[in-house]
Structure 1
Amino acid sequence: MGNNEFDLVILSDCVLDIYYRVGELPIKVGDVAVSDIIALSPGGACTTALVTRKLGLNVAVIDKVGDDPFSDILIKYLNDNGIHTGFIKRVHGFVTISNNIITNNGHAFMGYLGVGRELTVDDIDENIIKNSRAIYINGFYASFTVGIVNTFIETIRTAHKHSVQVFLDVGPAINNRDLIISLIGLSNTVFMNEDEMKRLFGDLENLTNFTGSTGIIAIVKLGSRGAALVRNGKIKWCKPYDTGNIVTTIGAGDTFNAAYITGIIRDLDPVESCNLGNRIAFLRTQHLTPMELPEIREIIK
């Protein structure tokens, strides 16, 4: 890593996922649904942290979690997988929880927004950013609170000051559209799925025009159809991988991001990194949780 302490620092949306599997959805008023499994795993941006670590990067997380037992579990899982948690601040309250309810035909979420939405610039040490090769910001909370957008903007400016690459996932993009677009304009690489792209830009042509000659790389994840890589006014298509035997697609997008970022840090070009993202995202769908993924660093050696 040279003089860099970390290959990647991950900022915001480190959550605890709880998985259930039921016979069918929706679960209606008066129904009694019993899951035949339960599993816990780091989720959100910490899925990205977990997968980048499995791909061989040295990874740290900056976030806020609570003083609750779920936060204890989350931090233990991260530590057990070799992810640096010393920059996670613990405060009174609860970590963000996502209850992931899956069936053979899809999934639903029920969650709670925890103390992570209160992350501020004061929680982030500039030296951590300075001594990293890249930062990854998960923009989930940007749809729900304006304050954290300011935190992201200041962190991105700090990264650029020290010539640190900035990767951004736009999050669901259901609110605060203009603020999220401003974050995109400040980033080096942005990730979104097709629905998020439509909410922000309407269509791929508008996204292509927006990025234009800015040098921003935008990647639109298309599920079983692969991904579109938008750069310098041109679109390149990244091939999909086999989509058979899917256990769940939850976290596949976060996994794609992890593999793409790892590819770039390991000096693959953007298209190669995009194809790697599809490959590792497919592997993610073969397991209930990302913790079940095997060590996969040999894939890009």
Structure 2
Amino acid sequence: MSNNEDKFDLMIISDCVLDIYYRVRELPIKAGDVAVSDIIALSPGGACTTAIVARKLGLKVAVIDRVGDDPFSDILIKYLNDVGVHTGFIKRVRGFVTISNNIIDADDHAFMGYLGVGKELTINDINENIIRNSRAVFINGFYASFTRDIIKVFAEVIRIARKYSVPIFLDTGPSISNTDLMINLLKSVSTVFINEKEMRRLFGDINGLANTTRGTDVIAVVKLGSNGAALVHNGVIHQCQPYNVSNAATTIGAGDTFNAAYMAGIMHGLSPMNSCDLGNKIAALRIQYLTPIELHNLEGLITW
């Protein structure tokens, strides 16, 4: 890489999928039920929600991942290209699909996904120069719950980023297994994103998180849904107030959106507290739409 066009504000690594949204009258759907969706919508999901929102917030964004060679992946890449996310580092792998089904009703949602080829991401898919020429790196840790091998890839990405003093943001993902490796991993990043359920699985409570990250200089951002968020840094806990929403279409992708807005805030020079506020503001805006691609340009919402 030798010119400015090859440099990115944010390099996003792992867990890009195509989301298909269905809206049904009531969840759960049981065996023998006949459920008919009154709408269907397609949108990039997972870390690619983060990519899209970060792009709409004015960052130059690229994605590193593996996806299938199926029509769903074609649509995923087209959506990313259409909003200006660079997809040239995404590897297409024959014989796989890349999809998640999101089923929502008026009050809740459920996922039915497929662990595709993204879980087989290797360090050979990541060029050191790509990391070196990025202003920041974001790692989505979803697959870390399902394979220990990808945690080794994440650790190597972190090593490279630290070598070149590139800030590293990590979302822990569901944290349903391999928790020992994830705890070790998050101690070496700049900022970790985690929701309340994930925090309890890894640390028991917010005090356990504060004790674990004390002395590491890691900023932990705990996403608390309708209760806003909390910043944990060197044992001190600060609360970020939520934005109330009365017309939510779905909460799917709110956390991914928060991640994007928080990172955009930091990269535009906002403080962690102001970036946390921005994360809550943009997440509240996102959940008023069925999919993140419906959001308009958001750069004007970043204020100092």
User: When the two structures are superposed, what TM-score results if normalisation uses the length of structure 2?
Assistant: 0.97
Matches within 5 A, 1:131-210: 131-210=133-212
Unaligned 5+ segments in structure 1 are none
Contact persistence 1:93–1:114 (CA under 8 A): no
Which residue number in structure 1 is paired with residue 45 of structure 2? 43
Which residue number in structure 1 is paired with residue 86 of structure 2? 84
Which residue number in structure 2 is paired with residue 13 of structure 1? 15
Selected match of 1:264 from 249, 263, 266: 266
| 2:28 partner SS | coil
1 CA distance for matches of 2:153 and 2:242? 35
The answer to whether 1:123 aligns with 2:113 is no
2 CA distance for matches of 1:121 and 1:130? 15
Displacement of 1:2 after TM fit?
7.5
| Percent identity between the two aligned chains | 68
1 CA distance for matches of 2:90 and 2:289? 27
Deviation per residue, 1:226-281 (Å, 9 max, x gap): 10100121000001001211100000000000000000011100000000000000
Unaligned 5+ segments in structure 2 are none
* Structure 1: 4+ residue segments shifted above 3 A: 1-4
2 CA distance for matches of 1:163 and 1:54? 26
Which residue number in structure 1 is paired with residue 242 of structure 2? 240
1 CA distance for matches of 2:58 and 2:5? 17
| Pairs aligned (count) | 301
Contact persistence 1:95–1:116 (CA under 8 A): no
Contact persistence 1:16–1:98 (CA under 8 A): yes
Contact persistence 1:39–1:289 (CA under 8 A): yes
Displacement of 1:183 after TM fit?
1.2
The answer to whether 1:289 aligns with 2:291 is yes
Contact persistence 2:70–2:98 (CA under 8 A): no
Selected match of 1:221 from 220, 223, 228: 223
RMSD (Å), alpha carbons? 1.3
Contact persistence 2:65–2:90 (CA under 8 A): yes
Deviation per residue, 1:205-245 (Å, 9 max, x gap): 11111111211000110011110100121000001001211
User: When the two structures are superposed, what TM-score results if normalisation uses the length of structure 1?
Assistant: 0.98
2 CA distance for matches of 1:300 and 1:226? 18
| 1:186 partner SS | coil
